[in-house]
Amino acid sequence: MRIATSDNPVTRAFLQQTLPEATPVVFTDNAELDDLLKADPMHADALLMPAEEGAAWTIRYPRFNLVTPFPILMAPFGYALPLGDERLLIFFNAWLANARGNGTVNALYRHWMLGEIGTARPARWSVARDVLGWLD
């Protein structure tokens, strides 16, 4: 099995540990990945990358599907804050709790990572469009 993956050493080590018999097809940047995905047939059997990135590439190349294997692996990430700045930490934690609680984090994830599009709002009133007729 040929699995395309970035040249990130962590991803390559994960692939080697999880599927030692697989042959990695390594790409170093988005241009190489773009070329790989354009190829017909593709020179790999699968592509290993974070689900958020994969979702974005499936928008550009809808002939591909995103598959999230079980168990889902979560990569840790965080925000760097200055050491000892308690007020900023309290503010940031409050902002994050509020954004989670009111659905903002979920909505942003669904929009930017999963590509879900909500209802379209009507266009705002415009002098150029509504008065002068310059725009459709």
Q: What is the pLDDT of residues 42-93, one digit of tens each?
A: 899 999 988 888 888 999 999 888 887 776 666 656 778 888 999 998 998 8
Tokens of 127: 């002098």
Separation of alpha carbons 32 and 70, rounded Å: 28
Measured CA to CA in angstroms, residue 105 lies from 25, 37, 101 at distances of: 34, 30, 8
Q: How many CB atoms lie within 10 A of CB 43?
A: 10
Q: Provide the β-strand partners of residue 4.
A: 25, 47
What pLDDT does residue 21 have? 95
Q: 103: exposed, middle or buried (C-beta count within 10 Å: 0-12, 13-18, 19+)?
A: exposed
Tokens of 89: 């930490």
Asked if residues 6 and 18 have their Cβ atoms less than 8 Å apart, the reply is no
- pTM for the predicted model, two decimal places: 0.54
pLDDT band at 26 (very low <50, low <70, confident <90, very high): very high
